[in-house]
A = this chain, B = another copy of it.
Amino acid sequence: MRNIKIVIEYDGTRYKGWQRLGDSDNTIQHKIEAVLSKMAEENIEITASGRTDAGVHASNQVANFRTDSTMPTHKMRSYCYEFLPEDIVIKSVEEVDLNFHARYNAKVKKYIYNICNNKVHDVFTRKYDYHVPLPLNIEKMRKAAEVLVGEHDFQSFTTLKTKKKSTIRTIYTINIINDDGNIEISVQGNGFMKNMVRIIVGTLVEVGLGERDANEISDILDRKERKYAGHIAPAKGLFLEEVNY
């Protein structure tokens, strides 16, 4: 038995997210499992570092699977490159310790969110960013972001319904770069709940537009209810950038 770690890049535009949803085959996980199972001539199940929602992209999603196949890892990579659709690429394949688990062992995750803050939406990036045509005040957004950094209960910033599990997470950094209207927000943390990054971005955008004050953020955290935070920024601007173990 071998344990194989894979790093995956995908364009989420036409998929219903990472995971199998009911009967849908149109998920990234399903596409990869179908190819790997054919390759290994056995039923392969893969475990990712976490799900990504419908329309969300990944530059470096990490997953692992167990197999009895003796195929060398470089051949696995080229097999997958040949048979996967062109919007899903397995960038690396590596044999790892049997204990490695892509979800449980993930320590730090980094997401990137792209905003096009020009009047006119760039035709070449429009599938990969959120168009905000009105001017954003980046300094105010940075001020609001600072409040979110640290260990907090992020219940106001998730659509997760469960009351059983902890909603406490730690955000290590939020960086906002503005390159001539192309704004990149990168968020690093020890874990993210459903829609958490997108609600953070939506809230920061409302601060940037002047619809909210940066000082409201600690109040939103304290209230621990989804309705106090901002809107959910669109899926297409979000990229899972890095998972560290």
Interface residues of A (CB under 8 A from B): 9-11, 57, 59, 81, 86-89, 91, 120-124, 126, 128
Known contacts A87-B123, A87-B126, A89-B122; 9 additional CB pairs below 8 A are A9-B123, A11-B123, A11-B124, A59-B124, A86-B121, A86-B126, A89-B120, A89-B121, A124-B128
Q: How far is the CA of A163 from the CA of B85 in the complex (A)?
A: 44
- Contact status A124-B57, CB under 8 Å: yes
Q: How far is the CA of A26 from the CA of B151 in the complex (A)?
A: 53
- Contact status B87-A120, CB under 8 Å: no
CB-CB under 8 A from A59, the residues of chain B are: 124
Q: How far is the CA of A10 from the CA of B120 in the complex (A)?
A: 12
A108 → chain B, closest Cβ, in Å?
A: 23
Residue of B nearest to A125 (CB): B124
CB-CB under 8 A from A123, the residues of chain B are: 9-11, 86-89
CB-CB under 8 A from A122, the residues of chain B are: 9, 89
Q: How far is the CA of A120 from the CA of B9 in the complex (A)?
A: 10
Residue of B nearest to A87 (CB): B123
Q: How far is the CA of A125 from the CA of B89 in the complex (A)?
A: 13
CB-CB under 8 A from A124, the residues of chain B are: 9, 11, 57, 59, 128
In the complex, 14 of the A-B residue pairs with CB atoms within 8 angstroms, ordered by the A residue number, are: A9-B122, A9-B123, A10-B123, A11-B124, A57-B124, A59-B124, A86-B121, A86-B123, A87-B123, A89-B121, A89-B122, A89-B123, A91-B120, A124-B128
Q: How far is the CA of A42 from the CA of B10 in the complex (A)?
A: 46
Query: Closest 10 interchain pairs by CB?
Result: A11-B123, A9-B123, A87-B123, A89-B120, A89-B123, A86-B126, A91-B120, A10-B123, A11-B124, A81-B120
